[in-house]
Structure 1
Amino acid sequence: MTAIHELGALDLWRLLHARELSAVEVAEHFLERIERLDEANAFVHVDRELALRQARAADEADDRTGIIHGLPFADKMLTRRAGQPAAMGSRWLEGAVADVTDPMARVLDTGGGVVLGRTAAPEFGFAGYTRSALHGSTTLPGRPDLHAGGSSGGAAAAVAQGLLPFAPGSDGGGSIRIPAATCGLVGLKPTRGRVPAHGGVGTVGGLVTAGAIGRSVMDVALLTDALIGRVNGDTPHELTLRPPEHDDGSLLAAAVRGEGRYRIAVMTGTPWDATHDIRIAPEANAAVEVALAALEAFGHELGEVALPDATGYADAFTALWRGGAAAIGVPRAERGRLEPLARWIIDTSDELGAGGLAKAQLWASAFERRVLAAFAPWDAVLTPATALTPRPLDWYPIDDGEADFDRQVLHTPHTSFVNVTGLPAIALPVHQAATDDGDALPMGVQLIGRPGEEATLLAIGRQLERRIPWKQRALARIRD
């Protein structure tokens, strides 16, 4: 018999709706696994009492229309939930407890989810790897010497260890796609504005949006539908990007069908080429080649597209990042409690000023138009998800904030411009890179879509999933 943690989220959903499993039984199974098997440090907090209270309510409910009814998940620790720890990975906020619940947590509760706890992230989510002085490092499951990626590294490590069927995350520069690819999982960053509860609209720079991580394309589609808050195929009345006219409204339906022939281009160049010595590892190029071979076999039209002029990108992106950091409001006298990366970003935000932020936003808007024009002939654009293999724990110079940031750029030069342009993107774990010690490390690709075209990305991802056995690989790495 298949164990509960080996089932996908969609399979669990079917069993819960058929009452062949109870939400309490499922929650208890995952809670026991978290307590026993979280060697990667995926969770920073577990609330058994809250989880079982929500599970019992799910079992007793007559109405089971919630899109993730009875399914367990965990909040990324940057999402506030009333009564739960709210340190944001920072010693500056150590001991803080949230007095409000963020919309992203509320929409998953409304969807019928059962929250088990909180997953790890770096301080304020500023890093593309997951480590903090408060909680330590989150590592690639099975490889305690390597980072899991970030900033949603705890979410990815939890799914990769079989501690959750799927997990929500947030992505401001690659923070869903990086850990998903690193941990051999699927990760979707939706279009800016597609997720009403946390879609980037109304925030400084508009960079950060909620998204989903899972072992399969269908599980990611299911959780993304829940994040959007769709009920019976309808999007909520709150401010949100509406799906295209040809989209029936369900991302899960698009993933299940996995149909279509598309025009897909490999992107050359990165926006950091002018300022950093970007080198694409053979393992990253191999992942692209694996994806291309499968796409060609499906009959897609393949080509190449150059990233348009990105002169000034480094200055603009860091200015937008600093603008968001300034909103945290850490008093200068208390910044000694911050780690070097967060302190560097926040200290330099003081020098930005309204003029600097406005200049960066205008540059970003012009860049977005150039990218949309260049990508317009293509249904999707393909890049490596990461330029390098999963990074050793000592690879980032954590005592020097600026040098730390530069190292992150070298690892993931293809992800942040997708946030600047607001486009949707999905990470797919298409490749296994052999190592000298006989191990195999996950390597992924990124597919970037047109605004609002998540369904296209999921359909292509589902096609690749039928040919490339990443779900089986993920299951093989899960310990019992």
Structure 2
Amino acid sequence: MTALHERTAVELRELLLAESVSPAELVEHYLGRVAERDATLGAFATLTPDLARARAADLRRERERGDAVGEPGDSSDVVDDEVLWGLPCADKDLWDRAGVPTGFGSRAFAGAHQYVPQVSGDVVAQLDAVGAVSLGKTATPEFGLPATTEPLAGRPTRNPWDPTRTAGGSSGGAAAAVAAGLLPFAPGSDGGGSIRIPAAACGVVGLKPSRGLLAAGGGLDSPGGLVVNGPIARTTADAALLLEGLITRTPDGAAAHPYALRQPVGPRWSYLAAALDGQVPRFGAAEAAGCAGQGRFRLAVSAFSAWDGFYDITPAPEAVAAHEAGVAALAGLGHDIESVAWEPDAAYAPAFRTLWMAGAAAVPIEDPARLALLEPLTQWLVGVGRKVTARELVEALRALSAFERATVTRLAPYDAVVLPALGMAPPELGWLDAQDPERNFEQQCQLTPYTSMVNVAGLPAITVPTVWTEPTATAPAGLPMGVQLVGRPGGEHTLLALAAQLESQLRWPERRPPVW
């Protein structure tokens, strides 16, 4: 019999709906996986087994009372209020869950300063509303600011493919848990690449939705509209399923909050259908059946980074090889490929730094003694950010808005742009300069030069693995490397279709890290 963690989330949902497995059985299976493997992996900041068991029992009782959650195999047009019914996941440790400490990856919220919210945050409430079962909190770096997950407040999150290396950040715990089979999928948040970076580092799928797609964490309530929530999963279809669960919908199946999207948001299951079919009609439903070239797209290929000219951005050979492998696979699938080169905007880097620091200034700590507990990078960001004037912030936002408009215009002729996912292989733990914040920030940009500009532009993007590096003593299966596909506003369907096509060609879900 296939072990439960070997199943995809889509398959587990089918088993749940067919009553071949119960929420309680899934909870116990995954809690056992966490108990066996997370002591060294460090994917979880907090585990809440009692709450998970109680939640699973409640879901079972609700179903026994006759509360329908859909039918097995029903993934077309049925509006289902509990899309993720009984499926285990976890909350990122930046999000509030009532009665569970939120640590923010920070010593300033530990011990005597522990914060236990009384009300759950919006994204947690959304996941609860669609039937998910949280096993606890996944690890994050301090306030989600760095691109690796090595908080001084707890254990570092280790890469499942090589425990000496980073799992990326800031959703590093979520990506490591999914890659190691401790969760079928997991939600994360992404303000400068924090879903895509760890997904790329851990060899899984990471999707950053368009700004405004989600009611809970759609970017509209964050400075500059940078931070959005999204899914991390082993397969494209599982990422699509979790995306369906993150979307708040009205009773007729329409997205409740499609603000800022330039394309209509499809009915329930439209994202999953795109991922399962691997193709999306370019026209309306009536024309779809006769659409020649259905599922084939016009793609731009680039290694453009908005940080070019400000920092030395030179992708490592393994990043170039992964990019080339992804492009070759897409070309082999029959897509129209065009190489493009764009000149960087000199205003981007200083404007983004200003906005990032201004965002850090809102860290809810004023007491100097608690501020001293912050890590050097965070202290620097907060200190500089609190000196940013209103005029400087407005000028930075104006510059980034201009960059957004220019980027959307550049992408207009294409269905998607193919970029590298990372600038180098996941580095060893401790690689970031812990004492020189300015150098630390530069290193992060060199590791992740292709992600933050997508947040500024508000565009959807997905990262998928394409190759593995040569085996080493610490990484006997090699390290995953991949590509990032960036779409038009509202273009999640296209990205999921392209990712599904790559998955069928490259078959990355069949690979397992040594910790598996």
TM over 0.5: yes
Residue 471 in structure 1 maps to residue 476 in structure 2: no
Residue from 81, 85, 88 that aligns with 1:72: 88
Could you tell me how far apart the structure 2 residues matched to 1:239 and 1:257 are?
24
Q: In structure 1, what is the equivalent of residue 253 of structure 2?
A: 234
C-alpha deviation, 1:87, in angstroms? 2.1
Q: In structure 2, what is the equivalent of residue 55 of structure 1?
A: 56
Contact 1:67–1:231 (Cα < 8 Å) also in 2 = no
Could you tell me how far apart the structure 2 residues matched to 1:256 and 1:232 are?
24
**Aligned pair count?**
478
Residue 203 in structure 1 maps to residue 222 in structure 2: yes
Alignment of 1:191-340 (within 5 A): 191-230=210-249, 234-238=253-257, 240-241=259-260, 244-245=263-264, 247-248=266-267, 250-259=270-279, 260-331=295-366, 333=368, 334-340=370-376
Counterparts in 2 of 1:320 and 1:233: CA distance versus 1, 3 Å: farther
C-alpha deviation, 1:468, in angstroms? 0.3
Q: In structure 1, what is the equivalent of residue 47 of structure 2?
A: 46
C-alpha deviation, 1:214, in angstroms? 0.4
**Normalised by the size of structure 1, how large is the TM-score?**
0.96
Residue from 117, 135, 141 that aligns with 2:160: 141
Helix, strand or coil at the partner of 2:413:
coil
Counterparts in 2 of 1:436 and 1:162: CA distance versus 1, 3 Å: closer
Could you tell me how far apart the structure 1 residues matched to 2:395 and 2:367 are?
25
Contact 1:129–1:151 (Cα < 8 Å) also in 2 = yes
Contact 1:188–1:213 (Cα < 8 Å) also in 2 = yes
Counterparts in 2 of 1:52 and 1:317: CA distance versus 1, 3 Å: same
Contact 1:74–1:167 (Cα < 8 Å) also in 2 = yes
Contact 2:418–2:483 (Cα < 8 Å) also in 1 = yes
Q: Deviations over 1:246-282 (max 9, x none)?
A: 8455211111111100011112331111111111111
Helix, strand or coil at the partner of 1:434:
coil
Helix, strand or coil at the partner of 2:41:
coil
Contact 2:310–2:346 (Cα < 8 Å) also in 1 = no
Helix, strand or coil at the partner of 2:136:
strand
Counterparts in 2 of 1:197 and 1:278: CA distance versus 1, 3 Å: same
Residues 236-245 or 35-44, more deviating: 236-245
Could you tell me how far apart the structure 2 residues matched to 1:328 and 1:421 are?
24
Could you tell me how far apart the structure 1 residues matched to 2:318 and 2:193 are?
19
Q: Deviations over 1:271-325 (max 9, x none)?
A: 1111111111111111111111111111100012223432121111111112211
Counterparts in 2 of 1:228 and 1:246: CA distance versus 1, 3 Å: closer
Q: Which amino acid aligns with 2:364?
A: G
Q: Which amino acid aligns with 1:16?
A: L
Q: Which amino acid aligns with 1:179?
A: P
Residues 124-133 or 319-328, more deviating: 319-328
Q: In structure 1, what is the equivalent of residue 18 of structure 2?
A: 18
Helix, strand or coil at the partner of 1:447:
strand
C-alpha deviation, 1:237, in angstroms? 3.0
Q: In structure 2, what is the equivalent of residue 429 of structure 1?
A: 465
Could you tell me how far apart the structure 2 residues matched to 1:76 and 1:401 are?
25
Residues 334-343 or 13-22, more deviating: 334-343
Residue 36 in structure 1 maps to residue 36 in structure 2: yes
Residues 51-60 or 331-340, more deviating: 331-340
Q: In structure 2, what is the equivalent of residue 440 of structure 1?
A: 478
Identity across the alignment (%): 45
Q: Deviations over 1:88-131 (max 9, x none)?
A: 11111212212221100000000000010000000000000001
Residue 115 in structure 1 maps to residue 120 in structure 2: no
Q: In structure 1, what is the equivalent of residue 500 of structure 2?
A: 462
Helix, strand or coil at the partner of 1:168:
strand
RMSD value over aligned CA atoms? 1.6
C-alpha deviation, 1:201, in angstroms? 0.3
Could you tell me how far apart the structure 2 residues matched to 1:289 and 1:214 are?
23
C-alpha deviation, 1:239, in angstroms? 6.0
Q: Which structure 2 residue ranges, 5 or more long, are not aligned?
A: 70-79, 280-294
Contact 1:160–1:477 (Cα < 8 Å) also in 2 = no
Q: In structure 2, what is the equivalent of residue 4 of structure 1?
A: 4
Q: Deviations over 1:393-427 (max 9, x none)?
A: 12111122221111111111000000011100000
Contact 1:235–1:242 (Cα < 8 Å) also in 2 = no
Q: Which structure 1 residue ranges, 5 or more long, are not aligned?
A: none
Could you tell me how far apart the structure 2 residues matched to 1:186 and 1:167 are?
11
